Amino acid sequence: MERRTLRLAAARVATSAVLAATSGPAFADAAAGKKLAQQRCAVCHGVDGLAKMPIAPHLAGENEVYIQTQLKAFRTGKRVHEMMSVVAKELSDDQIADLAAWYASIKITVTMPP
């Protein structure tokens, strides 16, 4: 029983560390993210999160942590894309969190083919 308790404690510490490292501000503002998306993202990704360009991914319903991680990677140069590297370079951590909150809050449905 003691081993199990230690494993659970280690798992909680690891999870907390991952969340702390990848999360943005405690209170991301999806409404601010929507406004920012209209200004900077809508041409390619759509304010509704459905890409308007064939080479851009859909962002609607995407996981917040994933969006934040990718935007930060573009900002730092860890990930490179001609347009995204320029756009992300200007974004603060708060703006990244707000954009991620906005796109993650969009609900999408999927219809499987027969």
Domain ranges across the chain: 24-105
Least confident of 12-16, 64-68, 69-73, 90-94: 12-16
Out of 3.40.50.300, 1.20.90.10, 3.40.50.460, 1.10.760.10, which CATH number does the structure's domain 24-105 have?
Answer: 1.10.760.10
Least confident of 46-50, 64-68, 88-92: 46-50
Q: What is the C-alpha to C-alpha distance for residues 52 and 42, in angstroms, rounded to an integer?
A: 8
Residue 92 has pLDDT above 50, yes or no: yes
Q: What angle do CA 70, 74, 80 make, to 5 degrees?
A: 115
The pLDDT confidence band at residue 50, using thresholds 50, 70 and 90, is very high
Across the range 71-83, mean pLDDT stands at 97
